[in-house]
Amino acid sequence: MGRSTALLFAAAIVVGANASARAADLLPPPPPIEPPPPLDFSGWYLRGDVGVGALQISDWRFTLQPDVTTGLLPAGPVWNTNRHLADTVFAGGGVGYQFNNWLRFDLTGEYRIDAAYSATSHFAFTGAGGAIFYGPDQYAANLGTALFLANAYADLGTWYGVTPFVGFGIGAAFHNLSPLTDIGLGIANGGFGTSAATEQTNFAWAAMGGLAFNVTPNFKVEVGYRYLDMGRINSNPIVCNTVPCFRERHFFDVASNDIRVGFRYVIPSLIPMPPPPPPPPLVRKY
């Protein structure tokens, strides 16, 4: 019995030694599979915007003046009771660059469709027997604008995928004021005059703010407000039957309160990311 136990013990030792030798010959387990590198972006982006602009005019004046030297109308007081510029809609696009998480720049261009301009003035003159007569004039034209701006933005942090931002832009507004018509009413009924169309380039500036919603890492939707100053409009003189109508021109400053909805698409980098480092060499143990 003692001899059998000794033989079994010896056999177990031999088997264990062979198993250890075989285990030493096995290769180490392969390294874990690393996740793919994150998508890299170039910083360049494309943008598009549409919106509605509530146009406003200020510092309005016109050159219709009493004329007592030639006997031509008007020979009495002149006053204005209405001037208005209707709302407009616009669409545009541009290209920009995101420098870091809080600073970006872009260049944009947009077209603002024609907005109706209207005004009403009144004049008085003394007729036969000292009677006072009144003659209102109604004016009409359309103002269309192409706008180009260089803009800088500060992104103010991101919470739950929403990024508030503020910005400022400068550039140029290319205005086209259609022929300004003058229609006489009342005692001046039947009078008609018109000016030549006016093409004018003005300095423009804008201040803006809004919210950007991160739909995906490289696609963002923006909703924002913009105050836009587009300079001063000077009409050409109104003429009646090829002669000036009382040297009359219109002048006014134009600005807009814009509500915009747009998007930004960040362009993926065209330079591939470097491959991951190779795994360490395998060492075989004997």
Tell me which range, 13-22, 75-84, 133-142, 270-279, is most confidently predicted by mean pLDDT: 133-142
Most confident of 73-77, 137-141, 201-205, 268-272: 201-205
Whether residue 96 lies inside any domain: the answer is yes
282 belongs to a structural domain: no
State pLDDT tens for residues 18-44.
555 454 455 556 666 655 555 555 689
For residue 281, is the peptide bond before it cis, meaning its omega torsion is within 30 degrees of 0? Answer: no
Whether the pLDDT of residue 94 is over 70: the answer is yes
Question: Is 167 part of any domain?
Answer: yes
Q: What is the pLDDT of residue 78?
A: 78
Within a domain: residue 275? no
Domain, as residue range, for 248 = 43-268
Question: Does pLDDT of 98 surpass 50?
Answer: yes
Query: Does 85 reside within a domain?
Result: yes
Going by C-beta distance under 8 Å and a sequence separation of 6 or more, which residues neighbour residue 233?
143, 175, 177, 198, 200, 250, 251, 252, 253, 254
Q: Is 154 among the domain residues?
A: yes
CB-count burial class (<10 Å; 0-12, 13-18, 19+) for 80: middle
User: 115 burial class (0-12, 13-18, 19+ CB within 10 angstroms)?
Assistant: buried
CA angle 238, 241, 243 (to 5 degrees): 60
- Mean pLDDT lowest among 21-25, 57-61, 210-214, 246-250: 21-25
Give the mean pLDDT of 46-64: 93
Q: What is the CATH number of the domain that holds 111?
A: 2.40.160.20
Question: What does residue 87 show for φ and ψ, rounded to 5 degrees?
Answer: -70, 165
Predicted local distance difference test score (pLDDT) of residue 23: 47
Higher pLDDT, 19 or 169: 169
Instruction: Indicate whether 113 pLDDT > 90.
Output: yes
Number of H helices, E strands in the chain: 1, 13
In contact, 13 and 21? CB cutoff 8 Å: no
Here the tokens at position 224 are 């924002």
Q: Which of 98-112, 123-137, 206-220 has the lowest mean pLDDT?
A: 123-137
In a domain, 203, yes or no: yes
**Domains in the chain, number:** 1
pTM: 0.76
pLDDT tens, residue by residue, 183-220: 877 655 556 788 899 999 999 999 999 999 999 988 99
How far apart are the C-alpha atoms of 286 and 282, rounded to whole Å? 13
Residue 258 inside a domain? The answer is yes
**Kindly report the CA angle at 121 between 142 and 55, in degrees rounded to 5?**
35
Exposed e or buried b per residue across 250-271, where buried means at least 16 C-beta atoms within 10 angstroms of its C-beta: bebebbbebebebbbebeeeee
